Protein backbone atom coordinates (compact mmCIF):
# COMPACT_ATOMS: atom_id res chain seq x y z
CA UNK A 1 0.00 0.00 0.00
CA UNK A 2 1.02 3.60 -0.55
CA UNK A 3 1.55 5.67 2.61
CA UNK A 4 -1.19 8.25 3.17
CA UNK A 5 -0.17 11.65 4.53
CA UNK A 6 -2.55 14.13 6.10
CA UNK A 7 -1.26 17.70 5.76
CA UNK A 8 -3.00 20.19 8.08
CA UNK A 9 -1.90 23.87 7.98
CA UNK A 10 -3.04 26.73 10.22
CA UNK A 11 -5.62 28.74 8.22
CA UNK A 12 -3.50 31.69 7.07
CA UNK A 13 -2.02 32.57 3.68
CA UNK A 14 1.69 32.04 4.48
CA UNK A 15 0.98 28.72 6.21
CA UNK A 16 -1.24 27.47 3.36
CA UNK A 17 1.28 28.47 0.70
CA UNK A 18 4.21 26.58 2.12
CA UNK A 19 2.27 23.56 3.35
CA UNK A 20 0.43 23.09 0.05
CA UNK A 21 3.83 23.07 -1.65
CA UNK A 22 5.07 20.44 0.74
CA UNK A 23 1.89 18.42 0.13
CA UNK A 24 2.49 18.49 -3.63
CA UNK A 25 6.14 17.50 -3.16
CA UNK A 26 5.01 14.52 -1.10
CA UNK A 27 2.38 13.65 -3.71
CA UNK A 28 5.05 13.71 -6.43
CA UNK A 29 7.15 11.44 -4.20
CA UNK A 30 4.46 8.78 -4.44
CA UNK A 31 2.21 9.32 -1.40
CA UNK A 32 -1.54 9.70 -1.18
CA UNK A 33 -2.35 13.13 0.24
CA UNK A 34 -5.26 14.54 2.20
CA UNK A 35 -4.92 18.31 2.56
CA UNK A 36 -7.13 19.59 5.37
CA UNK A 37 -8.19 23.24 5.58
CA UNK A 38 -10.93 25.16 7.30
CA UNK A 39 -14.22 25.52 5.41
CA UNK A 40 -13.68 29.30 5.29
CA UNK A 41 -10.29 29.00 3.57
CA UNK A 42 -11.39 26.10 1.39
CA UNK A 43 -14.08 28.31 -0.10
CA UNK A 44 -11.51 31.04 -0.87
CA UNK A 45 -9.03 28.51 -2.31
CA UNK A 46 -11.75 27.19 -4.64
CA UNK A 47 -12.37 30.75 -5.84
CA UNK A 48 -8.81 32.04 -6.19
CA UNK A 49 -6.13 29.35 -6.18
CA UNK A 50 -4.99 27.86 -9.49
CA UNK A 51 -2.94 25.32 -7.50
CA UNK A 52 -6.11 24.15 -5.78
CA UNK A 53 -7.99 23.62 -9.04
CA UNK A 54 -5.01 21.75 -10.53
CA UNK A 55 -4.35 19.52 -7.52
CA UNK A 56 -7.99 18.75 -6.79
CA UNK A 57 -8.22 16.99 -10.17
CA UNK A 58 -5.44 14.54 -9.25
CA UNK A 59 -6.58 11.03 -8.30
CA UNK A 60 -4.26 10.70 -5.29
CA UNK A 61 -4.85 14.17 -3.81
CA UNK A 62 -7.87 15.01 -1.64
CA UNK A 63 -8.90 18.40 -0.28
CA UNK A 64 -11.03 18.14 2.82
CA UNK A 65 -12.27 20.79 5.26
CA UNK A 66 -13.58 21.23 8.78
CA UNK A 67 -15.14 24.25 10.49
CA UNK A 68 -12.91 26.71 12.35
CA UNK A 69 -15.82 27.29 14.71
CA UNK A 70 -16.30 30.99 13.85
CA UNK A 71 -19.37 32.48 12.15
CA UNK A 72 -18.87 32.83 8.36
CA UNK A 73 -19.14 36.63 8.40
CA UNK A 74 -16.46 37.11 11.11
CA UNK A 75 -13.18 38.51 9.68
CA UNK A 76 -10.10 36.30 10.07
CA UNK A 77 -7.74 39.31 10.05
CA UNK A 78 -4.59 39.89 12.16
CA UNK A 79 -6.48 41.84 14.83
CA UNK A 80 -8.81 38.84 15.32
CA UNK A 81 -6.09 36.19 15.09
CA UNK A 82 -6.31 35.18 18.72
CA UNK A 83 -10.07 34.52 18.33
CA UNK A 84 -9.36 32.29 15.36
CA UNK A 85 -6.62 30.50 17.28
CA UNK A 86 -8.79 29.94 20.35
CA UNK A 87 -11.74 28.82 18.29
CA UNK A 88 -9.60 26.29 16.42
CA UNK A 89 -8.08 24.96 19.62
CA UNK A 90 -11.38 24.63 21.46
CA UNK A 91 -13.94 23.92 18.72
CA UNK A 92 -11.99 22.18 15.98
CA UNK A 93 -10.22 19.78 18.27
CA UNK A 94 -13.17 17.39 18.53
CA UNK A 95 -14.08 18.02 14.87
CA UNK A 96 -10.55 16.98 13.97
CA UNK A 97 -10.87 13.74 15.93
CA UNK A 98 -14.18 13.03 14.13
CA UNK A 99 -12.48 13.82 10.86
CA UNK A 100 -9.66 11.35 11.53
CA UNK A 101 -12.21 8.62 12.24
CA UNK A 102 -14.38 9.38 9.20
CA UNK A 103 -11.32 9.54 6.96
CA UNK A 104 -10.53 5.97 7.88
CA UNK A 105 -13.65 4.63 6.16
CA UNK A 106 -13.30 7.03 3.19
CA UNK A 107 -9.76 5.77 2.67
CA UNK A 108 -10.87 2.15 2.82
CA UNK A 109 -13.65 2.84 0.25
CA UNK A 110 -11.10 4.43 -2.10
CA UNK A 111 -8.63 1.58 -1.68
CA UNK A 112 -6.15 3.90 0.09
CA UNK A 113 -4.44 3.01 3.31
CA UNK A 114 -5.63 4.80 6.46
CA UNK A 115 -3.72 7.98 7.32
CA UNK A 116 -0.25 6.75 8.14
CA UNK A 117 1.40 10.07 8.96
CA UNK A 118 0.27 13.56 9.96
CA UNK A 119 2.24 16.62 8.90
CA UNK A 120 0.72 19.34 11.02
CA UNK A 121 1.35 23.02 11.44
CA UNK A 122 3.31 23.27 14.68
CA UNK A 123 1.08 26.06 15.98
CA UNK A 124 -1.77 23.53 16.43
CA UNK A 125 -0.67 21.09 19.17
CA UNK A 126 -4.30 19.94 19.59
CA UNK A 127 -4.07 18.16 16.23
CA UNK A 128 -0.85 16.45 17.23
CA UNK A 129 -2.46 15.25 20.46
CA UNK A 130 -5.48 13.83 18.60
CA UNK A 131 -3.29 11.98 16.11
CA UNK A 132 -1.01 10.65 18.84
CA UNK A 133 -4.04 9.25 20.71
CA UNK A 134 -4.92 7.32 17.54
CA UNK A 135 -1.36 6.08 17.12
CA UNK A 136 -0.66 8.20 14.01
CA UNK A 137 2.97 9.42 13.88
CA UNK A 138 3.19 13.19 13.63
CA UNK A 139 5.72 15.55 12.11
CA UNK A 140 5.37 19.26 12.89
CA UNK A 141 6.04 22.01 10.42
CA UNK A 142 6.77 25.56 11.60
CA UNK A 143 6.28 28.06 8.80
CA UNK A 144 8.02 30.94 10.62
CA UNK A 145 11.67 31.92 10.47
CA UNK A 146 14.06 29.56 12.31
CA UNK A 147 15.78 32.54 13.98
CA UNK A 148 12.51 33.57 15.65
CA UNK A 149 11.73 30.00 16.66
CA UNK A 150 15.06 29.81 18.44
CA UNK A 151 14.27 32.99 20.42
CA UNK A 152 11.03 31.33 21.60
CA UNK A 153 13.04 28.34 22.79
CA UNK A 154 15.27 30.76 24.71
CA UNK A 155 12.41 32.45 26.59
CA UNK A 156 13.20 30.65 29.91
CA UNK A 157 16.86 31.65 29.57
CA UNK A 158 15.88 35.27 28.95
CA UNK A 159 13.74 35.22 32.10
CA UNK A 160 16.45 33.52 34.14
CA UNK A 161 19.03 36.08 32.98
CA UNK A 162 16.71 38.92 34.06
CA UNK A 163 16.53 40.16 30.47
CA UNK A 164 12.81 39.53 30.22
CA UNK A 165 10.25 40.97 30.97
CA UNK A 166 11.66 44.33 29.87
CA UNK A 167 11.74 46.95 32.62
CA UNK A 168 9.20 49.78 32.41
CA UNK A 169 10.29 52.30 29.76
CA UNK A 170 13.14 50.03 28.58
CA UNK A 171 15.37 51.22 25.76
CA UNK A 172 14.49 48.91 22.89
CA UNK A 173 17.91 49.48 21.31
CA UNK A 174 19.68 47.75 24.19
CA UNK A 175 21.00 44.31 23.46
CA UNK A 176 19.82 41.03 24.94
CA UNK A 177 22.42 38.34 25.52
CA UNK A 178 20.54 35.20 26.51
CA UNK A 179 19.70 33.98 23.01
CA UNK A 180 22.64 31.72 22.18
CA UNK A 181 24.25 32.55 18.87
CA UNK A 182 22.69 36.04 18.68
CA UNK A 183 24.55 37.74 21.53
CA UNK A 184 26.40 40.18 19.30
CA UNK A 185 23.51 41.74 17.41
CA UNK A 186 20.07 41.01 18.90
CA UNK A 187 18.35 44.02 20.49
CA UNK A 188 15.15 44.08 22.52
CA UNK A 189 13.33 45.45 19.49
CA UNK A 190 14.44 42.45 17.39
CA UNK A 191 12.68 39.87 19.53
CA UNK A 192 9.34 38.64 18.14
CA UNK A 193 6.54 41.14 18.76
CA UNK A 194 4.87 39.14 21.55
CA UNK A 195 7.90 39.85 23.77
CA UNK A 196 7.14 43.56 23.54
CA UNK A 197 3.38 43.26 23.76
CA UNK A 198 3.23 40.97 26.80
CA UNK A 199 3.54 42.79 30.12
CA UNK A 200 4.88 39.82 32.08
CA UNK A 201 5.81 36.17 31.71
CA UNK A 202 2.34 34.99 32.71
CA UNK A 203 0.75 36.80 29.75
CA UNK A 204 -1.39 34.18 27.92
CA UNK A 205 0.16 35.14 24.55
CA UNK A 206 3.61 34.11 25.77
CA UNK A 207 2.16 30.95 27.29
CA UNK A 208 0.74 29.96 23.90
CA UNK A 209 3.97 30.76 22.08
CA UNK A 210 6.06 28.77 24.53
CA UNK A 211 3.65 25.84 24.75
CA UNK A 212 3.59 25.62 20.94
CA UNK A 213 7.37 25.79 20.75
CA UNK A 214 7.92 23.08 23.30
CA UNK A 215 5.27 20.82 21.74
CA UNK A 216 7.45 20.54 18.63
CA UNK A 217 9.93 18.51 20.67
CA UNK A 218 7.27 15.80 21.19
CA UNK A 219 6.82 15.12 17.47
CA UNK A 220 8.61 12.43 15.46
CA UNK A 221 10.24 15.14 13.39
CA UNK A 222 10.34 18.86 12.79
CA UNK A 223 10.23 20.49 9.35
CA UNK A 224 11.65 23.93 8.62
CA UNK A 225 11.37 25.88 5.40
CA UNK A 226 14.91 27.18 5.03
CA UNK A 227 18.28 25.89 3.81
CA UNK A 228 21.45 25.03 5.69
CA UNK A 229 23.61 27.80 4.25
CA UNK A 230 21.11 30.47 5.28
CA UNK A 231 20.51 29.38 8.87
CA UNK A 232 23.38 27.07 9.83
CA UNK A 233 24.10 28.56 13.29
CA UNK A 234 20.47 28.77 14.33
CA UNK A 235 19.82 25.25 13.02
CA UNK A 236 22.67 23.85 15.07
CA UNK A 237 21.01 25.31 18.19
CA UNK A 238 17.53 24.08 17.22
CA UNK A 239 18.92 20.56 16.69
CA UNK A 240 20.01 20.46 20.33
CA UNK A 241 16.30 20.35 21.25
CA UNK A 242 14.80 18.86 18.06
CA UNK A 243 17.42 16.38 16.79
CA UNK A 244 15.22 15.15 13.92
CA UNK A 245 14.88 18.45 12.09
CA UNK A 246 14.30 18.27 8.34
CA UNK A 247 15.57 21.41 6.60
CA UNK A 248 13.96 21.20 3.19
CA UNK A 249 13.50 24.71 1.83
CA UNK A 250 13.00 26.88 -0.03
CA UNK A 251 9.92 24.74 -0.67
CA UNK A 252 8.61 26.74 -3.61
CA UNK A 253 11.92 26.15 -5.44
CA UNK A 254 12.06 22.51 -4.40
CA UNK A 255 8.63 22.09 -5.95
CA UNK A 256 9.51 23.99 -9.13
CA UNK A 257 12.57 21.76 -9.52
CA UNK A 258 10.74 18.54 -8.91
CA UNK A 259 7.86 19.48 -11.19
CA UNK A 260 10.15 20.47 -14.01
CA UNK A 261 12.14 17.23 -13.62
CA UNK A 262 9.00 15.11 -13.63
CA UNK A 263 7.02 17.00 -16.23
CA UNK A 264 9.81 17.64 -18.72
CA UNK A 265 9.06 14.57 -20.80
CA UNK A 266 5.29 14.67 -20.61
CA UNK A 267 3.95 18.21 -20.36
CA UNK A 268 6.85 20.47 -21.25
CA UNK A 269 6.03 24.16 -21.12
CA UNK A 270 3.44 23.83 -18.36
CA UNK A 271 3.47 27.01 -16.31
CA UNK A 272 0.50 26.73 -13.98
CA UNK A 273 0.75 28.58 -10.67
CA UNK A 274 1.79 26.85 -7.46
CA UNK A 275 0.20 29.33 -5.08
CA UNK A 276 -2.57 28.67 -2.58
CA UNK A 277 -4.04 32.15 -3.09
CA UNK A 278 -6.82 33.38 -0.84
CA UNK A 279 -7.11 36.50 -3.03
CA UNK A 280 -7.51 36.81 -6.79
CA UNK A 281 -4.07 37.52 -8.25
CA UNK A 282 -3.81 40.40 -10.70
CA UNK A 283 -1.42 39.21 -13.42
CA UNK A 284 -1.60 42.49 -15.36
CA UNK A 285 1.50 43.64 -13.45
CA UNK A 286 3.66 41.09 -15.33
CA UNK A 287 3.34 42.74 -18.79
CA UNK A 288 3.89 46.11 -17.04
CA UNK A 289 7.11 44.72 -15.52
CA UNK A 290 8.18 43.46 -18.95
CA UNK A 291 8.28 47.09 -20.11
CA UNK A 292 10.50 48.35 -17.26
CA UNK A 293 14.33 48.39 -17.36
CA UNK A 294 16.26 45.62 -15.61
CA UNK A 295 16.50 46.02 -11.83
CA UNK A 296 14.57 49.31 -11.88
CA UNK A 297 11.38 48.46 -9.96
CA UNK A 298 10.82 48.41 -6.21
CA UNK A 299 8.22 45.76 -5.32
CA UNK A 300 6.17 46.72 -2.25
CA UNK A 301 4.01 44.25 -0.38
CA UNK A 302 3.15 43.77 3.28
CA UNK A 303 1.82 40.21 2.94
CA UNK A 304 -1.60 38.92 3.86
CA UNK A 305 -2.04 39.97 7.50
CA UNK A 306 -0.40 43.37 7.97
CA UNK A 307 -2.74 46.27 8.62
CA UNK A 308 -1.42 49.82 8.58
CA UNK A 309 -2.90 53.17 9.51
CA UNK A 310 -4.11 55.47 6.77
CA UNK A 311 -1.38 57.89 7.91
CA UNK A 312 1.36 55.29 7.31
CA UNK A 313 -0.17 54.43 3.93
CA UNK A 314 0.11 58.09 2.91
CA UNK A 315 3.66 58.42 4.28
CA UNK A 316 4.76 55.36 2.29
CA UNK A 317 3.00 56.68 -0.80
CA UNK A 318 4.67 60.10 -0.60
CA UNK A 319 8.04 58.49 0.14
CA UNK A 320 7.76 56.14 -2.82
CA UNK A 321 6.72 58.87 -5.25
CA UNK A 322 9.36 61.30 -3.91
CA UNK A 323 12.11 58.68 -4.26
CA UNK A 324 11.70 58.95 -8.03
CA UNK A 325 11.90 55.14 -8.36
CA UNK A 326 9.51 52.89 -10.24
CA UNK A 327 7.33 50.79 -7.94
CA UNK A 328 4.84 47.95 -8.03
CA UNK A 329 2.70 48.07 -4.90
CA UNK A 330 0.28 45.48 -3.51
CA UNK A 331 -2.48 47.38 -1.70
CA UNK A 332 -4.80 44.69 -0.37
CA UNK A 333 -8.39 45.93 -0.05
CA UNK A 334 -8.11 45.31 3.72
CA UNK A 335 -4.58 46.70 4.17
CA UNK A 336 -5.70 49.83 5.98
CA UNK A 337 -6.89 49.67 9.59
CA UNK A 338 -10.61 49.45 10.06
CA UNK A 339 -11.41 47.59 6.83
CA UNK A 340 -12.01 44.11 8.12
CA UNK A 341 -14.19 42.19 5.73
CA UNK A 342 -11.23 40.86 3.76
CA UNK A 343 -12.63 42.15 0.50
CA UNK A 344 -12.83 45.99 1.27
CA UNK A 345 -12.76 48.73 -1.35
CA UNK A 346 -9.82 49.42 -3.68
CA UNK A 347 -7.75 52.35 -2.38
CA UNK A 348 -8.00 55.43 -4.59
CA UNK A 349 -4.90 57.42 -5.53
CA UNK A 350 -4.68 60.75 -3.62
CA UNK A 351 -4.87 63.65 -6.16
CA UNK A 352 -1.41 65.08 -5.28
CA UNK A 353 0.19 61.68 -5.97
CA UNK A 354 -1.66 60.87 -9.18
CA UNK A 355 1.04 62.09 -11.56
CA UNK A 356 3.96 60.35 -9.79
CA UNK A 357 1.96 57.15 -9.38
CA UNK A 358 0.79 56.91 -12.97
CA UNK A 359 4.26 57.81 -14.35
CA UNK A 360 6.28 55.34 -12.31
CA UNK A 361 3.92 53.18 -10.27
CA UNK A 362 1.59 50.23 -10.70
CA UNK A 363 -0.94 49.18 -8.05
CA UNK A 364 -2.56 45.78 -7.63
CA UNK A 365 -4.72 44.22 -4.91
CA UNK A 366 -2.81 40.90 -4.96
CA UNK A 367 0.22 39.96 -7.07
CA UNK A 368 1.62 36.67 -8.36
CA UNK A 369 4.47 37.33 -5.92
CA UNK A 370 6.84 34.48 -6.70
CA UNK A 371 6.76 35.39 -10.39
CA UNK A 372 7.11 39.09 -9.61
CA UNK A 373 10.20 38.52 -7.45
CA UNK A 374 11.74 36.34 -10.14
CA UNK A 375 11.19 39.05 -12.78
CA UNK A 376 14.41 40.73 -14.00
CA UNK A 377 12.88 44.23 -13.65
CA UNK A 378 12.64 43.93 -9.87
CA UNK A 379 15.53 45.67 -8.07
CA UNK A 380 14.39 45.55 -4.44
CA UNK A 381 11.50 44.40 -2.22
CA UNK A 382 9.96 46.61 0.46
CA UNK A 383 8.47 43.90 2.68
CA UNK A 384 6.90 43.25 6.08
CA UNK A 385 9.49 40.44 6.48
CA UNK A 386 7.00 37.57 6.50
CA UNK A 387 9.04 34.38 6.33
CA UNK A 388 7.67 33.21 2.98
CA UNK A 389 8.21 36.63 1.43
CA UNK A 390 11.75 36.83 2.83
CA UNK A 391 12.68 33.41 1.44
CA UNK A 392 11.07 34.15 -1.93
CA UNK A 393 13.10 37.36 -2.15
CA UNK A 394 16.36 35.75 -0.99
CA UNK A 395 16.04 32.95 -3.53
CA UNK A 396 15.46 35.42 -6.34
CA UNK A 397 18.52 37.44 -5.30
CA UNK A 398 16.37 40.51 -4.58
CA UNK A 399 17.57 42.76 -1.69
CA UNK A 400 14.98 43.83 0.86
CA UNK A 401 13.87 46.86 2.81
CA UNK A 402 12.22 45.47 5.93
CA UNK A 403 9.29 47.09 7.71
CA UNK A 404 8.17 44.31 10.07
CA UNK A 405 4.62 44.27 11.40
CA UNK A 406 4.37 41.45 13.96
CA UNK A 407 5.36 37.97 15.17
CA UNK A 408 8.63 36.55 13.76
CA UNK A 409 9.07 39.49 11.37
CA UNK A 410 11.02 41.62 13.87
CA UNK A 411 13.71 38.96 14.22
CA UNK A 412 13.80 38.07 10.53
CA UNK A 413 14.40 41.69 9.55
CA UNK A 414 17.40 41.87 11.92
CA UNK A 415 18.86 38.78 10.25
CA UNK A 416 18.28 40.30 6.81
CA UNK A 417 20.28 43.40 7.68
CA UNK A 418 22.87 42.19 10.21
CA UNK A 419 23.51 38.51 9.49
CA UNK A 420 22.78 37.89 5.82
CA UNK A 421 23.40 41.54 4.83
CA UNK A 422 20.88 41.30 2.02
CA UNK A 423 18.74 44.27 3.00
CA UNK A 424 18.06 47.28 5.20
CA UNK A 425 15.92 47.26 8.34
CA UNK A 426 13.51 50.19 8.85
CA UNK A 427 11.80 48.55 11.83
CA UNK A 428 9.75 50.96 13.99
CA UNK A 429 10.49 53.90 11.68
CA UNK A 430 7.81 56.01 10.04
CA UNK A 431 7.63 59.01 7.76
CA UNK A 432 7.96 59.94 4.11
CA UNK A 433 11.56 61.26 4.37
CA UNK A 434 12.75 57.98 5.88
CA UNK A 435 10.97 55.98 3.17
CA UNK A 436 12.39 58.18 0.41
CA UNK A 437 15.97 57.92 1.74
CA UNK A 438 15.95 54.19 2.38
CA UNK A 439 14.41 53.45 -1.01
CA UNK A 440 17.15 55.48 -2.72
CA UNK A 441 19.86 53.76 -0.65
CA UNK A 442 18.53 50.33 -1.60
CA UNK A 443 18.00 51.11 -5.28
CA UNK A 444 20.88 53.45 -6.26
CA UNK A 445 24.62 53.81 -5.80
CA UNK A 446 27.36 51.68 -4.24
CA UNK A 447 25.27 50.61 -1.18
CA UNK A 448 22.61 49.20 -3.51
CA UNK A 449 25.24 47.37 -5.58
CA UNK A 450 26.70 45.83 -2.43
CA UNK A 451 23.27 44.57 -1.35
CA UNK A 452 22.66 43.12 -4.80
CA UNK A 453 25.98 41.27 -4.71
CA UNK A 454 25.19 39.71 -1.30
CA UNK A 455 21.65 38.85 -2.38
CA UNK A 456 22.94 37.18 -5.57
CA UNK A 457 25.40 35.10 -3.49
CA UNK A 458 22.58 33.99 -1.16
CA UNK A 459 20.41 33.04 -4.14
CA UNK A 460 23.26 30.92 -5.50
CA UNK A 461 23.50 29.06 -2.16
CA UNK A 462 19.75 28.45 -2.25
CA UNK A 463 20.01 26.96 -5.73
CA UNK A 464 22.85 24.68 -4.57
CA UNK A 465 20.79 23.44 -1.61
CA UNK A 466 17.87 22.30 -3.77
CA UNK A 467 19.92 20.82 -6.61
CA UNK A 468 20.44 17.04 -6.68
CA UNK A 469 22.83 16.20 -3.83
CA UNK A 470 22.25 19.58 -2.11
CA UNK A 471 21.39 19.79 1.61
CA UNK A 472 17.63 20.42 1.22
CA UNK A 473 17.37 17.83 -1.54
CA UNK A 474 19.00 15.18 0.66
CA UNK A 475 17.00 16.09 3.77
CA UNK A 476 13.79 15.82 1.77
CA UNK A 477 14.82 12.29 0.66
CA UNK A 478 15.35 11.40 4.35
CA UNK A 479 11.88 12.73 5.17
CA UNK A 480 10.37 10.70 2.34
CA UNK A 481 12.07 7.55 3.62
CA UNK A 482 10.69 8.17 7.11
CA UNK A 483 7.14 8.68 5.79
CA UNK A 484 7.40 5.51 3.70
CA UNK A 485 8.31 3.64 6.86
CA UNK A 486 5.04 4.74 8.52
CA UNK A 487 3.15 2.39 6.19
CA UNK A 488 4.96 -0.72 7.44
N1 LIG B 1 1.66 36.81 -1.60
C2 LIG B 1 1.21 36.75 -2.89
N3 LIG B 1 0.77 37.91 -3.46
C4 LIG B 1 0.77 39.10 -2.81
C5 LIG B 1 1.25 39.14 -1.48
C6 LIG B 1 1.70 37.98 -0.90
O7 LIG B 1 1.20 35.69 -3.53
O8 LIG B 1 0.34 40.09 -3.39
C9 LIG B 1 2.13 35.55 -0.98
C10 LIG B 1 3.62 35.55 -0.81
O11 LIG B 1 4.22 35.04 -1.99
C12 LIG B 1 3.83 34.66 0.41
C13 LIG B 1 2.54 34.82 1.19
O14 LIG B 1 1.59 35.44 0.33
O15 LIG B 1 4.01 33.31 0.02
C16 LIG B 1 2.67 35.69 2.42
O17 LIG B 1 3.34 34.96 3.40
P18 LIG B 1 4.38 35.64 4.38
O19 LIG B 1 4.90 34.58 5.26
O20 LIG B 1 5.39 36.40 3.61
O21 LIG B 1 3.55 36.72 5.18
P22 LIG B 1 2.14 36.71 5.94
O23 LIG B 1 1.11 36.99 4.91
O24 LIG B 1 1.98 35.36 6.58
O25 LIG B 1 2.27 37.82 6.92
pLDDT, one tens digit per residue, over 347-382 is 778 899 999 999 999 999 999 999 999 999 999 999
Q: How far is the CA of 405 from the centre of ligand 1 (A)?
A: 13
Position 91 scores a pLDDT of 87
pLDDT digits (tens, 9 = 90+) for 95-130: 999 999 888 888 888 999 999 999 999 999 999 999
Overall pTM > 0.90: yes
Nearest to 48, CA basis, from 23, 75, 80, 16: 16
Could you tell which of 303, 364, 390 is best to mutate to test the pocket of ligand 1, judged by most ligand atoms within 8 Å of the CB?
303
CA-closest residue to ligand 1 atom 18: 386
Find out whether the beta carbon of 121 lies less than 6 Å from any atom of ligand 1: no
The answer on pLDDT for 269 being more than 50 is: no
| Average pLDDT rounded to a whole number, residues 10-20 | 96
Q: What CA–CA distances, in Å, run from 91 to 10, 179, 475?
A: 14, 35, 35
Residue 387 CB less than 6 A away from ligand 1: yes
Cα distance between residue 475 and residue 478, in whole Å: 5
Print the SS3 string covering 394-450: HHCCCCEEECCCCCCHHHHHHHHHHHCCCEEECCCCCCHHHHHHHHHHHHCHHHHHH
Residue 162 has pLDDT above 70, yes or no: yes
Ligand 1 center to residue 304 CA distance, Å?
6
Q: Among the atoms of ligand 1, which is closest to the Cα of residue 385?
A: 20
Mean pLDDT (whole number) for 383-406? 98
Residues 198-225: pLDDT tens digits? Answer: 878 888 888 888 889 999 999 999 999 9
- Verify whether ligand 1 is closer than 6 Å to residue 406 (CB atom): no
Residue 344 has pLDDT above 60, yes or no: no
Which residues are identified as catalytic? 15, 121
Nearest protein CA to atom 2 of ligand 1, as residue: 369
Amino acid sequence: MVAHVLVFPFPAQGHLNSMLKLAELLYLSGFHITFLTTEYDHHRLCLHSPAHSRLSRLPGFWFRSISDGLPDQQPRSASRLIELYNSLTHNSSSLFRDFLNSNLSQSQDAGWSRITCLVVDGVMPFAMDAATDLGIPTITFRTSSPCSIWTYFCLPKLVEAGEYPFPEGADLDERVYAVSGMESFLRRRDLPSCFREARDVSDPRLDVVYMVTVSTTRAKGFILNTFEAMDSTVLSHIRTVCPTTYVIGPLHCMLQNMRSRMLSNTQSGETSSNSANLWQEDRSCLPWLDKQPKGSVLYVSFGSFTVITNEDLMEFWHGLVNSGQRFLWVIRPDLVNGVEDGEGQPTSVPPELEAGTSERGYLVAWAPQEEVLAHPSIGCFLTHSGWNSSLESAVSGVPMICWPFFADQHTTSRFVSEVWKIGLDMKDKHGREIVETIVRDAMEGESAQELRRSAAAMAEKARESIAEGGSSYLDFQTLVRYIKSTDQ
